[in-house]
Amino acid sequence: MREILLSTKDKETGQPDTLAVYDTSGPFGDAGETVDLTRGVKPLREDWIEARGDTQRLSGLSSDYGRQRLMDASLDHLRFNHARKHPRKAVGQPVTQMYYARQGVITPEMEYVAIRENQQLENQLGKVFQPITAEMVRDEVAAGRAIIPANINHPECEPMVIGRRFLVKINANIGNSPVTSDIASEVSKSIHAIRWGADTVMDLSTGANIHETREWILRNSPVPIGSVPLYQALEKVGGKAEDLTWEVYRDTLIEQAEQGVDYFTIHAGLLRKYIPHTFKRMTGIVSRGGSIMASWCTAHQQENFLYTHFEEICDILAAYDVGVSLGDGLRPGSQFDANDAAQFGELVTMGELTKIAWSRHVQVMIEGPGHVPMHLIAENMEMELRHCFDAPFYTLGPLVTDIAPGYDHITSAIGGSMIAQMGASMLCYVTPKEHLGLPDRDDVKTGVVTFKIAAHAADIAKGHPGAILRDHAMSKARYEFRWLDQFHLALDPDTAYAFHDATLPDDADKRA
Amino acid sequence: MREILLSTKDKETGQPDTLAVYDTSGPFGDAGETVDLTRGVKPLREDWIEARGDTQRLSGLSSDYGRQRLMDASLDHLRFNHARKHPRKAVGQPVTQMYYARQGVITPEMEYVAIRENQQLENQLGKVFQPITAEMVRDEVAAGRAIIPANINHPECEPMVIGRRFLVKINANIGNSPVTSDIASEVSKSIHAIRWGADTVMDLSTGANIHETREWILRNSPVPIGSVPLYQALEKVGGKAEDLTWEVYRDTLIEQAEQGVDYFTIHAGLLRKYIPHTFKRMTGIVSRGGSIMASWCTAHQQENFLYTHFEEICDILAAYDVGVSLGDGLRPGSQFDANDAAQFGELVTMGELTKIAWSRHVQVMIEGPGHVPMHLIAENMEMELRHCFDAPFYTLGPLVTDIAPGYDHITSAIGGSMIAQMGASMLCYVTPKEHLGLPDRDDVKTGVVTFKIAAHAADIAKGHPGAILRDHAMSKARYEFRWLDQFHLALDPDTAYAFHDATLPDDADKRA
């Protein structure tokens, strides 16, 4: 939480007015903290995890790849040297938040989340405020309607919740590529995204030193980190989809789970039988994970190994509390392909997989459509809730038109606001560079702020009791010409300040 | 219309594929035309107006102010010297498109509009296409469900239609202020807005030489020009609202009507009895016109003279075919004030005024709310249709949150897309400088392109048969990696091209 200090004073106490707002920046947003990136941020959850007594320190890394990278002295200069030498793993039972929620246990993570969601609203709203309780959080997590992504190997993470009874969250994608491969710049992008309000960050790296880059990002991240293990697995087999094996993939899951990734996108719902539906499409398969798995299935004439091994995948995830975000490998890549048989077929399979994951106490999100015209958005939300049993919906956009490359943060924020109002729990940001190139730091910021707008607009529309208070504080400051308060209350004070033209006559200011 | 030439060829004819799209840029978008700004654009409608035989050339200007400016030799260097020395005025009967529509007459303007709205879709869609006919345009205009803003003194204007059975339109505001007062830069902004897709432009100038600036803008505008005559009237009385008189206002109406302004925003719905409702508001009256008229009513303890003289106003407008856009002087300026008694009270009065205007054959639009959270947008649209008898709704935003100054083009495009899908006919753009300063050329472009997105997304969602074709062409080009076609099909080819990173690997390109 962050407290915004206003220039007005409380009439009774004479104290300055303040407004508490949800904040994702952790120690990076705390003036009293200095973060040494080579040491990472403080492991807030360390004691909580230890106290549960359900995990043990391993004697070393369990993945072949992790060990191989560790032994490679040529990587020493790239390596994050952290004190916590060995990862943890479950002893015996699942260690997921869902498992505990179902046992009736309120974890410290659930308590933290409840406090965080409430944003000290009792101070603003008084007795009329119905706070979110830790018990309610527990109940939502137990029912699968919400998830708390919190890998036991990511103790630096400040717990947060994704579910439609809570504030709408946003994710920012970062990651190097074969053409841009600099660890420092990816860590910097991650912190930049968090600083501006990303609730989670996905590392989609495909370039050099993916393993080491991820370690640096995780150790410096107060927000959950997601990944698509398939991308790294593909790099390990030289980029040839047909050379992928369950063994390479499995080792990658363990490697990343032991580093502390909080949720994995897994394209297990793309079955062979759905592939022919994509032949009728205008833009085929546009999801990278989807196209990799479709190539593999076609080359081997076999069912998707992520589907056939899904139970084993879940058992690995349950031992670290990695959430699964079921990837929509068949999401439409154009308005033309929206809501077609391929997309909805996969969605039904995702529902089947949701039940399997839940049976192993693994937390689940469902990834949703990319390109969908406005009049077809509601159907997506309804189908997701029905077929996936109210699991949180995590959407890309939807982009409501395809004719505005360079402005797809806007085409997607329009659809994102609408689907979040209808019940999507997390929105994946889109930057202005979508479809055109890789986002730089400025694009990351534009994407994050744009999606904070979409999420916040939905929070207001959904009637979240606290969301509108910041708008009210802003409006009051605007009406009273308190410019500094307006900047401080803005999602992006820097831009508001830079745009403000001090030469404005009073009257023009009042055009609101 | 503009034809986009693609790099693919028709399989049968071998001719290059093309796509016709709606275009507002007139001669400024025509490579075969050179516009001499000192002569203005060609008066396309001149012969049509002449042929109707319902108007006459006046022997001089009818407004005192117009004559006074003309006599002032010190303004000679600022003056647009056009061949058309004297304005036209109706002889006897009203000369409005609505009048003719009601007589069963299809004017050349209606025919032009029908052709334009169809975008040569018969070429793309073949026999399944149900074209918009001139008769349908006539019917919509006769019923007041659509307007064709087309002042007989603005023959340079390419006719366009605003109504919910047609493509959603957007307006761009420009105008100098007491701190920025350069005719050339306002004309340049106007052409810039038109070039990027503004369907109408409102000149909201409040600085020096408003009369001369407007003349330059009009003579160089192929799109309808709107204005708020009250702003200029206020300048004429030294900026003091209480010094406004009906006589000064009336003279301003005539002055601007004879210059060729196509629609006037008139805040006639703000009645004295609604003012007390605003005392309960967080942000009072934020409409500039609204606050001027509320001050006048309060100072004089009299009813709004725009209301009491509304019939006379309509008679003036009918003689030139100036449309009336009933200004929402009591629109909410914050989420807190949305959909309150002040706003909806005024809306009911606007309905009463709509009937009066229609009884005099004056074309009417209703201006709509600025700040409204998503869940309250539908009520606005429903109330407007009900109380204003299906007159076209022309909305500012709505802005769906107040906490993002610097990004209000986005907060308003979200609400704008939604209300346009629900039936709003024209969206007033908002630029990134909203609430912060005056827009420059770049802001104008960003505002226009953002609102083209909102309008287009709504056209798709409303099922306009042609809207989706451009998306399909883009998606196909994207799938086939035809980059140049993608740029040419984009709403903003320059930005798309600039953002495109030629170093992208193929795989990353496919993440759509």
A residues 372-391 near B, CB within 8 Å? 373-375
Contacts of A452 in chain B (CB under 8 A): 404
With CA atoms as reference, report the closest residue to B391 among B331, B431, B351. B351
Q: Is some CB atom of chain A closer than 8 A to the CB atom of B418?
A: yes
Distance from C-alpha of A488 to C-alpha of A475, rounded to nearest angstrom = 13
Q: Do A460 and B401 touch (CB under 8 A)?
A: yes
Region for residue B10 given its phi and psi (left: phi exceeds 0; alpha: psi -120 to 50; beta: otherwise):
beta
With CA atoms as reference, report the closest residue to B22 among B5, B4, B40. B4
Q: Do B373 and A333 touch (CB under 8 A)?
A: no
Distance from C-alpha of B338 to C-alpha of B102, rounded to nearest angstrom = 37
Cβ atoms of A353 and A310 within 8 Å: the answer is yes
Q: Is some CB atom of chain A closer than 8 A to the CB atom of B436?
A: yes
Residue-by-residue DSSP string for A106-130: --HHHHHHHHHHHTTHHHHHGGG--
With a CB cutoff of 8 Å and minimum separation 6, the contacts of B85 are none
| B52-79 CB burial, b ≥16 within 10 A, e <16 | eebbeeeeebbbebbeebbeeeeeeebb
- Alpha helices (runs of H) in B220-287, residue ranges in sequence order: 229-236, 246-259
Q: Which of B285, B399, B401, B421 to mutate to probe the A interface, most A CBs <10 Å?
A: B401
With CA atoms as reference, report the closest residue to B405 among B436, B371, B428. B436
Both tokens of A216, joined, read: 């640096």
**Nearest CB neighbour to A405, from listed B286, B479, B486:** B486
Distance from C-alpha of A493 to C-alpha of B356, rounded to nearest angstrom = 47
Q: Tell me, what's the pLDDT at B411?
A: 98
- Residues (pLDDT < 70) of chain B are 82-84, 180-181, 501-512
Q: Is some CB atom of chain B closer than 8 A to the CB atom of A338?
A: no
CB atoms under 10 Å from CB of B128, counted, come to 8
With a CB cutoff of 8 Å and minimum separation 6, the contacts of A129 are A121, A122, A465
Helix (H) / strand (E) containing A134: helix A134-142
Cβ atoms of A465 and A130 within 8 Å: the answer is yes
Question: Tens of pLDDT along B43-53?
Answer: 999 999 999 99
Q: Is B177 exposed, middle or buried (0-12, 13-18, 19+ CB in 10 A)?
A: middle
Both tokens of A122, joined, read: 């009792």
Question: Tens of pLDDT along A85-132?
Answer: 789 999 989 999 999 999 999 999 999 999 999 988 888 888 878 889
Distance from C-alpha of B33 to C-alpha of B129, rounded to nearest angstrom = 32
Q: Tell me, what's the pLDDT at A494?
A: 94
Q: Which of B278, B281, B367, B410 to mutate to probe the A interface, most A CBs <10 Å?
A: B410
Q: Is the dihedral of CA A508, B394, B447, A448 positive or negative?
A: positive
Helix (H) / strand (E) containing A89: strand A88-90
With CA atoms as reference, report the closest residue to B202 among B450, B446, B426, B459. B426
Distance from C-alpha of B230 to C-alpha of B242, rounded to nearest angstrom = 13
With CA atoms as reference, report the closest residue to B122 among B114, B351, B243, A344. B114
Distance from C-alpha of A61 to C-alpha of A81, rounded to nearest angstrom = 15
Both tokens of B302, joined, read: 């009299």
Cis upstream peptide for B398 (omega within 30°): yes
B residues 244-263 near A, CB within 8 Å? none
Tokens 């169809």 identify what position? B118
Question: Tens of pLDDT along B116-126?
Answer: 999 888 888 88
Q: How far is B490 from chain A (nearest CA, A)?
A: 5
Q: Is some CB atom of chain A closer than 8 A to the CB atom of B288?
A: yes
Tokens 């140049």 identify what position? B484
Distance from C-alpha of A57 to C-alpha of A50, rounded to nearest angstrom = 10
Q: Which of B285, B419, B475, B485 to mutate to probe the A interface, most A CBs <10 Å?
A: B475
Q: Are strands A426-428 and A393-396 parallel, antiparallel or unpaired?
A: parallel
Distance from C-alpha of B340 to C-alpha of B337, rounded to nearest angstrom = 6
Q: Do B460 and A179 touch (CB under 8 A)?
A: no
With CA atoms as reference, report the closest residue to A458 among A169, A209, A60, A108. A169
Q: How far is B45 from chain A (nearest CA, A)?
A: 32
Quick one: how many helices (H) and strands (E) in chain B? 21, 14
Count residue pairs from A and B with Cβ separation < 8 A: 288
Contacts of A460 in chain B (CB under 8 A): 335, 373-375, 400-401
Q: Is some CB atom of chain A closer than 8 A to the CB atom of B403?
A: yes
**Nearest CB neighbour to A512, from listed B333, B373, B410:** B333
Count the residues in chain B: 512
Q: Is B481 exposed, middle or buried (0-12, 13-18, 19+ CB in 10 A)?
A: exposed
Distance from C-alpha of B375 to C-alpha of A469, rounded to nearest angstrom = 16
Q: Is some CB atom of chain B closer than 8 A to the CB atom of A466?
A: no
Q: How far is A510 from chain B (nearest CA, A)?
A: 6
Cis upstream peptide for A398 (omega within 30°): yes
Cβ atoms of B476 and B488 within 8 Å: the answer is no
Q: Is some CB atom of chain B closer than 8 A to the CB atom of A370?
A: yes
Degrees (nearest 5) of the Cα angle B265, B270, B273? 175
Please name the amino acid found at residue A256.
Q
Q: Is the dihedral of CA A136, A140, A142, A146 positive or negative?
A: negative
Segment-wise mean pLDDT, segments of 10 residues, chain A, 512 residues:
92 92 92 88 96 96 95 92 82 96 98 93 82 96 98 98 97 86 89 97 93 96 98 97 98 98 98 97 97 98 98 98 98 97 98 98 97 98 98 97 98 98 98 93 97 98 92 96 96 94 48 39
Q: How far is A282 from chain B (nearest CA, A)?
A: 6
Q: Do A511 and B286 touch (CB under 8 A)?
A: yes
Q: Tell me, what's the pLDDT at A508?
A: 43
Q: Do A453 and B334 touch (CB under 8 A)?
A: no
Please name the amino acid found at residue B159.
P
Contacts of B471 in chain A (CB under 8 A): 334-336, 401-403
- Alpha helices (runs of H) in B319-465, residue ranges in sequence order: 341-359, 377-387, 408-422, 441-461
Q: Tell me, what's the pLDDT at A31?
A: 81
Both tokens of A39, joined, read: 């040491």
Q: Tell me, what's the pLDDT at B182?
A: 85
Q: Tell me, what's the pLDDT at B180?
A: 67
Region for residue A481 given its phi and psi (left: phi exceeds 0; alpha: psi -120 to 50; beta: otherwise):
left
Residue-by-residue DSSP string for A234-262: HHHTTT-GGG--HHHHHHHHHHHHHHT--
Q: Provide φ and ψ at A428, rounded to 5°.
A: -85, 130
Distance from C-alpha of B182 to C-alpha of B177, rounded to nearest angstrom = 9
**Nearest CB neighbour to B511, from listed A286, A495, A510:** A286
B residues 151-190 near A, CB within 8 Å? 177-179
With CA atoms as reference, report the closest residue to B486 among A434, A365, A193. A434
Range A296-304, long-range pairs (CB < 8 A, 24+ positions): A296/A241, A296/A242, A296/A244, A297/A270, A297/A272, A299/A241, A299/A242, A300/A242, A302/A272, A303/A271, A303/A272, A304/A267, A304/A268, A304/A270, A304/A271, A304/A272
The 3-state DSSP class for residue A226 equals: strand
Q: Do A336 and B463 touch (CB under 8 A)?
A: no
Q: Tell me, what's the pLDDT at B119?
A: 87
Q: Tell me, what's the pLDDT at B511?
A: 40
Q: Do A373 and B461 touch (CB under 8 A)?
A: yes
The 3-state DSSP class for residue A18 equals: strand
Q: How far is A199 from chain B (nearest CA, A)?
A: 18
